[in-house]
Amino acid sequence: MTAPGPPPPPPPPPPYGRPVGPPWSWWQRITLRARLVAITSLVLAAGLGVAALVTTTVVSNYLVGQVDASLTETAQRVDGLGVGQLQQAAGVLPSDYYILTRSADGESYPLVQSSTESAYGVPDIPAMSTQEIEAASGEPFTVSSRTGADQHPTTPTDWRVITLPLQSSLTGQTVGSAFVALPLADIHQTLQILVRTLAAAALAIVTLGAVVAHLAVQRSLRPLREIETTAAGIAAGDLSRRVRPAPETTEVGSLAESLNAMLAQIERAFEAQEASEARMRRFVSDASHELRTPVAAIRGYGELYRMGALQEPEHVADTMARIEDSARRMGMLVQDLLSLARLDEGRPVRRDRVDLGRLARDAAQDLHALDPSRTVDVVGPDGGDVPGDVVVVGDEDRLRQVMTNLIGNVARHTPSGTAAEIVLAPATASDGAPAVRVEVRDHGPGMGPEESARIFERFYRVDSSRTRESGGSGLGMAIVAAIVAAHGGSVGVSATDGGGLTVGVLLPVDRYDGGSSPRAASDRT
């Protein structure tokens, strides 16, 4: 029997915090609009409830204070009367007052109007000692109505009572005590009316507030619904849709601006990806097409030779020359493709001291050798002399290839005898660093804006028929752009004054300090 293995590890926590437990799950299912309206209504109701409580308390204290003032005033009048005088004053007693006198021997003498007693009953005044009476003298307190078989008041209520000791007018000694009371029924009724009024007003205000909050929230969330609709359209594939802008000072406006910026970036990324995929498909198609022609030629000539169709020695020599030419073209194309592949990998280039003036003069001599009728000059800015040694740090072989491709482009696409210039001039890069500008100008037919925009595309030929009479593969200018980019420079085309095409290359100087040549990558495979 095998021992049980370790218990399985607990499941990982969710990536966006803890899940909402059952007590709050219902709240999460409610729409944001309903939650905002509910919260607004609850806050408004709580505020009105607190205000009503404070108002009721203040009014109650005020009314009770008024009763206490009346009791104090009446007690001051009672204080100057004896027990007998109080009994004689019962007939003129105010209708709502209740006066109770107690002698020292404990006898009680209530003074109250019958209408008051039948309506409110009589207060349940407790028995108090002389010390308690003296301690409570002048301080009103509240008691309830007396309950019993003989007490059936119409409106039982609480009473406000004030007590004071009774003294003999002859001896000045305390002979008893007096209690003066007033019913609080009117105050209770007033407070009930006030509470009902405040409750009705609060209900109306909360209802109105909920309606206003609903309308305000609905209007405020309208841009969010538009954002939701826009997002649904984008999810369906329409990347050109945008969120309607709102004032930037609002949260919705800030969100809309951020979303539009993100959507624009996503659209550009998709367009760039689609363009890259289209270029890749075209590149593969063009490469296959370019390789198919020499391969087909070699195979065709080989089949002719195998079938014995080439009997004459001169026919065999001509066929072998054609096979060799096709193989050479295929080798050049493969070499260009390998060069572009290495440059696309971003491998660092050699860092040697390179004299661009020497490379330019060599390229000019090569072009003159190809077509002695051409005039090719190497000049400085404004047609003057080249300003001394124009030196940059880079890969001499790669930069020589740039010059060779540019000169070859002039030789292939301009008529024989067309003059050209190679201009070398100091310049400044976009970051302010020193640079050298190389321009290859021709005075041929030039090209249109659409052709100029595509001149650095791979396998692009100005001739739409894609003829190969000039021998070019359509990769020369693409290699120029890739080599210049590997050196941290830039390349562009413009029209030559008076007609023709100018290809401008801007290379950073990257000043060389002398000594042994620093090499970032001295070996190339």
According to the model, what pLDDT value does residue 401 have? 86
For the chain, the straight-line distance linking the first and the last C-alpha, in angstroms and rounded, comes to 63
According to the model, what pLDDT value does residue 469 have? 47
According to the model, what pLDDT value does residue 519 have? 34
The pTM score is: 0.48
Evaluate whether 198 touches 52 at the Cβ level (below 8 Å): yes
The residue ranges of the chain whose pLDDT is under 50 are: 1, 16, 464-469, 511-525
Which residues have CB under 8 Å from 401's CB, separation 6+? 339, 479, 483
According to the model, what pLDDT value does residue 465 have? 42
According to the model, what pLDDT value does residue 467 have? 41
**Distance separating alpha carbons of residues 108 and 116, to the nearest angstrom:** 19
Q: In what order do the strands lie in the sheet with 141-143?
A: 108-112, 98-103, 174-183, 159-167, 141-143
Helix (H) or strand (E) holding 165: strand 159-167
Q: Which domains, and CATH codes, for the chain?
A: 25-220 (no CATH), 246-345 (1.10.287.130), 348-508 (3.30.565.10)
According to the model, what pLDDT value does residue 521 have? 34
What percentage of the chain reaches a pLDDT higher than 70?
81
